[in-house]
Each structure stands twice: as C-alpha cells, then as structure tokens.
Amino acid sequence: MNKKVLFITQAAVIAALYVVLTALASALGLSSMAIQVRFSEALTVLPYFIPSAIPGVTIGCFLANILTGGAVLDIVFGTLATLIGSVCSYLLRKHKWLVPLPSIIANVIIVPWVLKTAYGLQDAYWYLMITVGIGEVISCYILGMILLFALDKHKKVIFRQ
C-alpha cells in the first residue's frame, strides 16, 4: 500500500470524525455552555498512535469551527491551539499519561483570549481559563484517555503504517 495514500486517508477519516463529533456536541448543546465539552477533542490523543492524526485533528478543528459558525479569530487560533496540542502530544507519545496535556494547556492559554477578543467577553479571562480548562480535562483527559486505552489494545490492526 502506498504510504502517502494511507497517511492522507487516515488524516481525512480523523478530520471527518472530528467534524461529526463536534456537530454532535453542538447539537446536544454541550459546546455552548460555560464548560464546553467537545467529544471531538478526545481525538487529540490520536497522535500517540499515528502522525497522520496531527493534520487530521487540525483540519477537522478548522472545518468544525467554520461549520459551527465560529468567528475568524476562533477559526484561526482555535485551530492553532489544536495544531500545537497535537504536535506536542505526538512528541510525548512515549509517555502515555502525558499525551492529553499539551492539548489541554494550549487550549487553556489560547481559547480564553479568543473568547475575550472575538466575542467581547471582557474581564472574564481567568474565569474562561477555568471553564475552558474543565471542559478540556473532560474532553481530552477523561474521554481521550478512555479512547487511548480502548484503541491501544487493537492499535496494530486499526493503525496500520
């Protein structure tokens, strides 16, 4: 099998999954409350398995932010936070329990600034750091680690390289 085709296919499937999971969370109202839980953020652990997950979750985040009507700053910097988190998660792949942390940290630092700047939520930066952090811990660490351990059992079959 051609490795480039496999890489692109894996990235595309992950991006599509990210968009669908974001739309589901949005439809359930979970992405518009004070503590936002995006099921799709659990996918940020996938760079633990394959490098194609980096463009997969990044492109998925970009498309999901566009499709859910995000502001331009949200689309650009939210995607950047996902890219930073994914690259750093890949770099930490030898330390399974640390894999979700880069995405949590990147989002806790970047997203409150985006919410404050793009959506005019003045004087709420520290509050937003806390609420975004709680949502990211639920999405990336709790759901992400459940996903990571579930997939780890079958990684040779699921993540062919």
State percent of the chain over pLDDT 90.
Answer: 70
* Residue 159 located in a structural domain: no
**Domain contains 48:** yes
Residue 80 covered by a domain: yes
> Would you say the pTM of this structure is higher than 0.95?
no
**pLDDT over 70, % of the chain:** 97
- Judge whether residue 98 has pLDDT over 70: yes
Q: Which residues contact 31 (CB under 8 A, 6 or more apart)?
A: 22, 25, 37, 38, 68
In a domain, 160, yes or no: no
Q: How many C-alpha atoms does 7 have within 13 Å on its Cβ side? A: 7
Q: What is the pLDDT of residue 69?
A: 83
Cα(53)–Cα(10) distance, rounded to whole angstroms?
Answer: 7
What domain range is 146 assigned to? 3-30+39-153
> Mean pLDDT, to the nearest integer, of 34-50?
92
Q: What is the pLDDT of residue 161?
A: 66
DSSP string, 97-155: GGTTHHHHHHHHHHHHHHHHHHH--TT-HHHHHHHHHHHHIIIIIIIHHHHHHHHHTTH
Q: Indicate whether 99 belongs to any domain.
A: yes
Q: What is the pLDDT of residue 94?
A: 95
Q: What angle do CA 33, 146, 81 make, to 5 degrees?
A: 50
Read off the pLDDT of each residue in 11-24 and give the average, rounded to a whole number: 96
pLDDT at 117: 86
- Domain presence at residue 113: yes
How many separate domains does the chain show? 1
How confident is the model over 138-150, as pLDDT tens digits? 999 999 999 999 9
Supply the angle between the helices 101-119 and 72-91 in degrees, to the nearest 10: 170
Residue 158 lies in a domain: no
* In-domain check, residue 96: yes
160 pLDDT higher than 80: no
